[in-house]
Each structure stands twice: as structure tokens, then as C-alpha cells.
Structure 1
């Protein structure tokens, strides 16, 4: 959720939530092998938040030191990658996909291009599968969704109503 030139975000299960009060600096896609492994993906979109503008609003992340200089924060419950942190600096990087409104932050650069998949430029030429929003499977997933919504909640998980 956009808030006074800031952003909120969190993990898939809702156990860890955060907020930034300011804009995110240097939004970019990192193609290094460490970011690929940490995200389980071909690249990791990151943006920098000043520590004075950053706060955890729910829970605490788990941390893994991927090197002597860098630690990576993730949800210990669902595994969502959330942060790239160099302790002792004045900023922390958030994963752009963990933002409540990731489409609001467009990357301005790519880093560590030596690790970039050589076939990325061919993605737009791949056949597109039709959206299945009305399929029985898609409806069943939507009705049984346990994912935290893309906005702050006073508590999570929400209480289930029994009949």
C-alpha cells in the first residue's frame, strides 16, 4: 500500500510485514548467482530504503549470512525472501516482489549482468497460455487462498468463522 511516498510489504503468509516512509532508491534487477539462489529465481529485484525510514510492523525475519558482508532476511514460516542487508550501513534493500504494490516501482538498472540468463530477450516471443481465472482449479485456489492480502491488517491470520 502506498503511504506518503512510502511503501508497505511483507511475506506471503503475513508473519513478517514492513513499511518504508520514503521512496525506494536504485530499484534494480540483480543477476548475481547469490541473488538467484536466495530468490530461487533468475534475478532478484531490489530497492533501497533508508534505515531511518524503515520499520518492521509485524514479526521478525530470519537471517542467513550469504557472505561475510551480506545477510538476507526471509520469513522463517513461509520462506519469502524479503531483505538484502549489509549491517552497519544506512540503508536496507527490500525485495520489490514483496511490496504490496510492486508495479509502482519500476527498475532503473540491472546489476551483475554476467549472471543474466542469455535467453531473457526471447521471453516475449514465447507462446502465451490463456488466463484461467474462471477455471474450476483457479476458483478453488481463490476460495482456499491462505496468502496475506496486499495491504496491512490488524492481525493475521484472520480468525476463521465456524458455522
Structure 2
């Protein structure tokens, strides 16, 4: 990403030690249900925004990396542990975890991979009873919580 390019999307880790910016819209946005992505994200699936390296930059700090297979690296914040990306070693693109974006509502998945490992209940979660955070904690308890999370902007 050139230094004069205006960011299209930004994001970073939970503590703010690592931040990134994209100068173009992602090529694709996907969900991966494979077992490796489940373990790497600590979640039932991972969601990624795929962007060529030339349209991506780490803008604050540098992530730590883990070689999760013979073909891939996964970047994460060494300070807070937030998973940040998946990238093929020597590949032309980086795939950024959609939850790490400041505006994850702007990166909407359009395809799925690794469906052989998709958990059976994933498709039915929309039908589960739900509460907002305020409903769950109540106004008094929610008012006592102090967040140490970096805001969703620089």
C-alpha cells in the first residue's frame, strides 16, 4: 500500500498494538469451517477478507506469526492474542480476519470453505433465544464495566 493511498478499510487487534489499513476493497470475503481455522480462531469458523499485498499495510506495530502448516502463516498480536490474518507463504495476498476490522459490517462473506468440518448447529444459531448486552447485564452492571479494548478507529 502506498503511503499516499487513502484507506478504504482499517482495523487492528483488541489492545491497539497492531493496526492495519486497506487501500482497496477486498477481492473476496469468505468463511472457513476447516478444523485448522476453528482452532486458530478459537471459534466455530473463521471469516476472512482477501486482499493483495500491494493494497494492504500494517500501520502500527507488527504482528507475531505462527506457521500453522507447510503452506501458511497466521498473524496475531503478541500482546493481546487477537488473531489477525492467514497468508500463504510466498502468496500474492493476505486474508484479514473480518472481526479485526473497525467496521466488520462492511465485509460480508459471500462463500464458504472447509464445509466438511462445519458444525451442525452453525446454521441454526439465528433461531436461538437472544439478548443484547444491555439485556444480559442490566444497566447498573453494564455501567460498571471498564473496557480496555482499543476503540474501532485510530
Give the TM-score of the pair, scaled to structure 2. 0.90
Does residue 1:137 correspond to 2:119, yes or no? no
Does residue 1:65 correspond to 2:67, yes or no? yes
Equivalent residue number for residue 34 of structure 2: 32
CA distance in 2, matches of 1:145, 1:121: 31
CA distance in 1, matches of 2:58, 2:6: 17
CA distance in 2, matches of 1:58, 1:85: 19
- CA RMSD in angstroms, aligned pairs only: 1.6
Q: How does 1:75-114 map to 2 (within 5 A)?
A: 75-114=77-116
Change (3 A) 1:130 1:81: closer
CA distance in 2, matches of 1:27, 1:17: 19
Cα pair 2:7 2:21 within 8 Å, conserved = no
2:123 alignment partner, SS class: helix
CA distance in 2, matches of 1:131, 1:63: 33
Unaligned runs of 5+ in 1: 153-163
Change (3 A) 1:60 1:50: same
Equivalent residue number for residue 16 of structure 1: 18
Does residue 1:42 correspond to 2:44, yes or no? yes
Give the TM-score of the pair, scaled to structure 1. 0.85
Using the TM superposition, name which of 68-77 and 127-136 deviates more: 127-136
Does residue 1:56 correspond to 2:52, yes or no? no
